[in-house]
Homo-oligomer: A and B are copies of this chain.
Amino acid sequence: MDRPRRRPIGIFDSGLGGLTVVRAVSERLAGEDIVYLGDTARVPYGSKSADTVVRYSRMSARFLLGRDVKMLLVACNTASAFALDTLRAEVPVPVLGAVEPGAQEAVAATRVGEVGVIGTLGTVRSGSYPRAIGALDPRVRVAQLACPLLVPLVEEGWLSGDGDGPEARAARAIAEKYLGELHARAPELDVIVLGCTHYPLVRPLLARIAAQMWRHEVRLVDSAQAMARAAEQALGDGGLLDASATPGRLACSVTDDARFGEVAARFLGHDLATVEKVDL
């Protein structure tokens, strides 16, 4: 507590997808230590109700506060949608969710005033993106769509959609199905928010299919990168940026370690040396 700037940033997620946020934060804020918690025993949150998600999010926040974090990033869109107000009321450090930063970028980016949001069923049902966007600019129209197959598609690593193999055909057909539904609802949109930590990994595929569907420029907003920018801003405002030249360290904890290695490296962009299994 002597040197608040040197305390780590805490990031939690329902699983491993939040490692895309770890990656974005450590690329932007290379000196910061990060403590990551993935609640992999109870992933996914997207299919669970608000009560359950709030309860699990409190446990994760408590764990990270026990590691003396100076800021809390809620990487999970579902947890951000359901638990952010509760955590902000209960937690003694700044709390950033996954929804507001992406909503801000979307509102700033749209020229026609129509934005699409894709995410898990839980995120879409919560209405958090339409609410956050409406609070920033009530004139912006929002079309949402839940895309439950995109998470397992990313976890299988069927990412590119290139070629004639069945995994590429599956990836293309899934992207076409979901973006086609979104196009039918919002033919004018010029921004799509990737409202789930997993989606940045299929961003090139989604961008290609979106370009075919809309035939005008569609900007994809990546909520992980938006969170990293928002964290930099908030730490700077609070005088909490760690400007030291030493590269930050990453400590990673999970509640269940099955299938950790294979998937983690894909999200993080490099292998992870050690991981600790914890009970919440």
Contacts and interface: CB of A to CB of B under 8 A. Distances in A.
Interface of A: 40-43, 47-49, 52, 121-122, 125, 148-149, 151-153, 155-156, 158, 165-167, 169-170, 173-174, 176-177, 180, 255-259
Nearest to A277: B49
A31 to B, nearest CB: 34
B43 A47 contact: yes
A265 to B, nearest CB: 17
Contact of A49 (B122, B166, B173, B256): B256
A125 B42 contact: no
Given A41-B52, A170-B177, 6 more contacts: A40-B47, A41-B48, A121-B258, A125-B258, A148-B155, A173-B173
A165 B255 CA distance: 40
A174 B256 CA distance: 27
A279 B254 CA distance: 24
Nearest to A168: B173
B170 A48 contact: no
Given A40-B47, A148-B155, A258-B125, A170 B174 contact: yes
